[in-house]
Chains A and B, each alone.
Chain A
């Protein structure tokens, strides 16, 4: 019998080619393509050099008043961008009317947010605990240098708490694993005790009426610690971001506790307000959207109808009208003694509005999951919620990353609509600054600056979503 062997694999004839060859193939391959290329170059030639002239060559960067720019332009005879305007107003653009001496509080909150968020977003880089720790120490030193010892202590607690919780949950495995009555009772009693203690401490140190939020956060943490197994450091970071961080950010930004001065929300503005609205919108809309998507596919008729009605209504009205409803109409339905903060109403409105959109995106993803996945999970004995959380939703969310990214982006940009209810975000502040008598005529600079800031953040989200998609899709079919 003859012995058969497969032939060796050969390299592909399409090799890497030089720049000239690439240009000839892609830009000048035919008469029409050559014409198109030349037209494109011409348009770029018309657009870019004049903008460059205006923004960089003829622009004025130094000084602190309008006169500097005017004098510079008069001397050279050419007008350019007066970036002094942006420089002088930068604090306003970034923080709105937040009192200048209190602005460090915003910086501190944003720094803590970055410290909490980076390790979970770039979890590939921070997969090792050691790297996270190094990053944390570095962040800690930054906080200590800029803000002092007490913020540094808080940052240390916030950043290193996940490690402690991870350690504890590993030690408490025997607690989490047993579902017998006694253990459950002990755990519930412990939760009640710690919850009550938190409530007492919060009421004593923060003030009357502040107990519930802190207690809720503590109880959620204990619930996860006692009843969910195998929670990783990574997951703990997410849980902290959704429990401790909002509390911390709220007290830090609003103040009126400890020795922090009270800054009412109508002083909030600028890019800081944009970030507050966008980040709280994203953090609340996605979970609500997921729940509504599940509700819309539920077999329980009441839940299904409620979700369908809500989604269809929210999708059929413009965001502006939702914001108007929240700020003007909503208080009319309430008794006069009950008042909600205007910003809070806008946040709730945006969250539910975008939740409806996200729900539809997620539902699309759920429909793409083969029936076999549900059947396999059910056959292995998975109950509904655990099946959804561990088997179905992780696959769904990977599939719908592009759709979710679109929603996140449009949410970020739609924060500018809060201007219609009198909240001044970055764009609103920019517009308000243009109306300043001293700086009349510098609209271009303000718009270009706002545009660049929005572009940087939107582009970052967009690139991140592409990266995530590439990273996660390798494992799907």
Chain B
């Protein structure tokens, strides 16, 4: 586990490069001229009001959404319609969802082993070992034989994180991972995410957890109306925002 802070990330190699990205839903221009570079090991928090395109942006990175213009390069592979490239990128990029999306017909252990076995062609024994390793890491090895609907929301999200980690991703995308959780469960998920950040994982988080953004992230990306308004280091972002739109957003968040 390598300890890593924000300021040495510039020396690392770029793992995601987004240039001049534009996307439309029919006539609606959801993403406008997005340019973003993410270095290996960097932790990015993406925030902004709802409908600002933050989820759409990270869903473009593993091609759950297609873009019409611009270029997305992940780990040296440019995303096009080529299915092989998409599959390769998806193996490198893990994703967490607001609703966990565990497979309900499989036990927790099966949820964790099925992808390594079927996609990475790992032997079952090895996959099980890996699964238990990551279940330990998210602190719920005792749930291995339960079904997802027998677990609490916080536990399900931690299982989902372990499921991602079993695929050994280089980048992890978080799409509002704590938005569907009770306040008491948010902390256990954020703890796991912090632990993950400390281990040097490249993370892109769409979240409203400003405390997490302040303490864990290297940079904060603020988006509104499909555009990146500003990108800044957390201290700067909270104490010295550059745009009036950012100030307005922050005042909304802080006030309640």
- Residues of chain A touching chain B, judged by Cβ–Cβ distance below 8 Å, are 173, 177, 179, 229-230, 370, 372-373, 375-383, 386, 390-391, 394-395, 398, 472, 474-477
Contact = CB atoms under 8 A, between A and B. Distances in A.
Interface of B: 62, 64, 83, 87, 90-91, 93-95, 97, 99, 101-105, 114-115, 117-119, 121, 123-124, 147, 149, 160, 163-164, 167, 173
7 contacts: A229-B121, A230-B124, A375-B64, A380-B119, A380-B164, A391-B103, A475-B104
Contacts of B104: 395, 475-477
Contacts of A472: 105
B163 A394 contact: no
Contacts of B97: 372, 375-376
A395 B87 contact: no
Contacts of B87: 381, 383
A380 B115 contact: yes
Contacts of B103: 373, 376-377, 391, 395
B125 to A, nearest CB: 10
B105 A381 contact: no
Majority secondary structure, B binding face: mixed
A179 B115 CA distance: 17
B105 A395 contact: yes
Given A391-B103, A394-B105, A477-B149, A381 B167 contact: yes
A372 B180 CA distance: 14
B123 A379 contact: no
A375 B117 CA distance: 19
Contacts of B99: 370, 372
A229 B167 contact: no
A378 B105 contact: no
Q: Which of A391, A474, A475 has the most CB of B within 10 A?
A: A475
B118 A179 contact: no
Given A372-B97, A386-B118, A475-B147, A380 B105 contact: no
A376 B147 contact: no
Contact of B101 (A376, A383, A394, A474): A376
Given A376-B102, A390-B114, 14 more contacts: A372-B101, A373-B101, A375-B64, A375-B101, A376-B103, A378-B64, A379-B173, A380-B164, A381-B119, A383-B83, A395-B103, A475-B147, A476-B104, A477-B104
A380 B106 CA distance: 16
Nearest to A476: B104
A379 B115 contact: no
Closest 7 CB pairs of A and B: A376-B101, A379-B95, A372-B101, A381-B90, A381-B91, A475-B147, A380-B115
B119 A476 contact: no
A230 B117 contact: yes
A372 to B, nearest CB: 4
Contacts of B119: 380-382, 386
B152 to A, nearest CB: 14
Contacts of B149: 475-477
Contacts of A394: 105
A380 B90 contact: yes
Contacts of A390: 114, 118
A381 to B, nearest CB: 4
A378 B90 contact: yes
A383 B163 CA distance: 17
Contacts of A380: 90, 94, 115, 119, 163-164, 167
Contacts of A375: 64, 95, 97, 101
Contact of B118 (A372, A373, A382, A477): A382
A116 to B, nearest CB: 25
Contacts of B115: 380-382
A459 B121 CA distance: 43
Q: Which of A173, A376, A472 has the most CB of B within 10 A?
A: A376
A386 B90 CA distance: 15
Contacts of B83: 383
A255 to B, nearest CB: 43
B118 A379 contact: no
Contacts of A376: 95, 97, 101-103, 160
Contacts of A373: 101, 103
Contacts of A398: 105
Q: Which of B119, B160, B163, B173 has the most CB of A within 10 A?
A: B119
A173 B123 contact: yes
Contacts of A229: 117-118, 121
Contact of B90 (A179, A230, A372, A379): A379
Nearest to B89: A381
A426 B133 CA distance: 60
A191 B173 CA distance: 43
B104 to A, nearest CB: 5
A266 to B, nearest CB: 46
A379 B64 contact: yes
B102 to A, nearest CB: 7
A382 B121 CA distance: 12
